[in-house]
Chains A and B, each alone.
Chain A
C-alpha cells in the first residue's frame, strides 16, 4: 500500500501506552498521605504527587494528571496548568536514559556545546528532544544545573555527572546498563 498514512488518533491520544493503572494505591498512597501531613492544604502536595507519578510511570500523562487531580481535589485543567509550567515533568514518554546537558553561559564558555554534539552523535539521536529508535536515549539542553565550577555537568535520569568533556561521553554511555 502506498500513499500517506493517516494519523492514528487513538494511539496518539494515549501515546500507544497501556491504559492508566492508578498510581496512588498501597505504598504510594501512604507516601502521599505522609506528604499531606506536612502542608496545611492538599494543593501544596501537588508537586510532590507529580514527582511520585513520574517516578512510577516515567512520565506525566493526561490520565495520570487526572488521577492526581482527583486525589488532591483539584481539576485536571488546573493540574495540567501547573505541570506545563515546570520543565522537569515529562509530558510525553522519553528514552530509558534522559540526558540533560547544561549549556548556559558559564558552561558555554567551557565548551558545553561540544558535549551536546558528542551526546547527539554517540546516542544516534541526532537531534535535541528526539528519542532514539531503540527508546534508549533522549538528549536535551538544560538551563544552568547549578554546578558551573564542574563544567560541563550533565544529568542522566537522577544521576548527576560533573566535568564531562566530549572525550568522556562514549565512556559514560558505555557504563549505562
Chain B
C-alpha cells in the first residue's frame, strides 16, 4: 500500500500487504498470514530446484543494479567443503529510499523467511543481515523476529525439523553509506573500515571472510517466499511492459509530493499515473519540475522524461535515468536545482571512503564549486570545470560512489543549465551594477 496512506486500487500490494498491520510483526501473526509455508516447501525441495524457480520468475536485484537473482545464486557452487555465506544488504542509505525500512519494521518475518530460503538455496549455512545503525526500529523488530524464529526451531541446527542448518544473524552497521556497496559491506562485517574491494575476485569466489558469498537486497529476499508459493509463472505474469522486468516493485516517494510514502506497483506501470494519481501530484499551488527516480545516484529526469516513463529497469533507462533502488525524489518549482544538486554532492563528499583519488578529491571539489555557484559566486567556466571533473569521476574508481556524485551533476547541468546560468549571470549583473555605482 502507499504506506502510510491507504492502498490505492491501482497498486498491487504483495510485499507491502501488511505495512501498517502491527499483527504481522510477530511469529504467530505472520504464520496466521501464511508465513513460513514457503520455507517449509523450500526445505523439501533441492537447492537447485529453488534456484531454477527464482531464475524462471525473472526476479532481479531490487537494491539498484538489477542483476538477475537466480543467476547470481547459480554462481555459488555448494559442496566444495568451504563455508558459504549469504549477506542481506539492509544498509538502506541511498537518499530517497526507505522501502526496506518498511519491510523490516512491518514484516520482519518475511525477510527472515526469505533469508532462510536464500541461504538454503545457495548452500550457505549462515546469513548475516547487515542493517544500518540508524535503523533502530527495524533493528528492534528484526532482532525480535530472529529470536522468535530460533526459539520456534525455524532457524538453527535443525531448521524446521529437517536436520538442515540455517543460521541468521543481525549485524548492526555504524554509520557509513558506503557500506551499502557489497564489498564494503563485507569488509565492515569482518570488522574493518568499510572500504570497497577491487573486483575480481567476485564475492561468489572470495567474499566475506574470503569465502563464497552472495549479497542480496532486503526487497529481493522478501520477494522469494511469494515466488516459491505462487510459482514462477505468477511472478513473471506481473509485467505491464517487457519480459525482462517482472513482478512488483516497491517505490518510496519523497520530496515535494502530496502523499509521500512507499507504494507497490507492477513493473511497467506508467510513471505519470503513478506520480499524479497514486501519489497525488504536487502540493497545492505548485507544479513538478524534476524527478530523481531511483535514489540520489541516478540521472535527474525532466518532467517530460518522467511522464513518458514506464516504471521498469528498461523504461527508466529509455527516458534518461535508471530504476535504481526505487527511491523517487520529487522536486517542485519552488526549488532551485543548483541548491538540490549541491546538497547531493555534499552528501557524496561526506560519504566517500577516500580510497580513490578521483572520488576523494572529485566529490569535495564538485561540492565546493556547486556551493560557490549556489551562493552567487560562480563563473561560466565553473560549468566546464564541473563537467570535466564529472567525466574524470566516471568509471575510474573501485566502486561507483564517484560515478554517483557525477551523475546528478552531469544530468543537472545538461537538463537544467539555465538555473546554473541565471545564478552565475545574476552575480555578474550585480558586479556590473557595483562597478557603475
Contact = CB atoms under 8 A, between A and B. Distances in A.
B132 interface: yes
B301 interface: no
B209 A41 contact: yes
B172 A149 contact: no
Interface stretch (A18-26, A85-93, A169-177): A85-93
Nearest to A106: B254
Interface residues of A, number: 43
Interface stretch (B33-41, B70-78, B133-141, B224-232): B133-141
Given A41-B190, A148-B95, A158 B136 contact: yes
Contact of A159 (B136, B169, B172, B339): B136
B260 A47 contact: no
Given A86-B176, A87-B176, A149-B262, A105 B134 contact: no
Contacts of B93: 143-144, 146
A148 B340 contact: no
A145 interface: yes
B347 interface: yes
Contacts of B331: 109
A106 B96 contact: yes
A104 B345 CA distance: 10
B172 A82 contact: no
B255 A148 contact: yes
Interface string B331-348: 110010001100110010
A73 B189 CA distance: 17
Nearest to A54: B174
Interface string A88-129: 110000000000100111101110000000000000000000
B203 interface: no
Interface in A19-75: 38-41, 43-48, 50-51, 72, 74
Interface of B: 4, 83, 92-98, 101, 126, 132-137, 167, 169, 171-177, 188-194, 209, 252-256, 260-262, 296, 327, 329, 331-332, 335, 339-340, 343-344, 347, 350-351, 353
Interface of A: 38-41, 43-48, 50-51, 72, 74, 81-82, 85-89, 100, 103-106, 108-110, 142-151, 155, 158-160
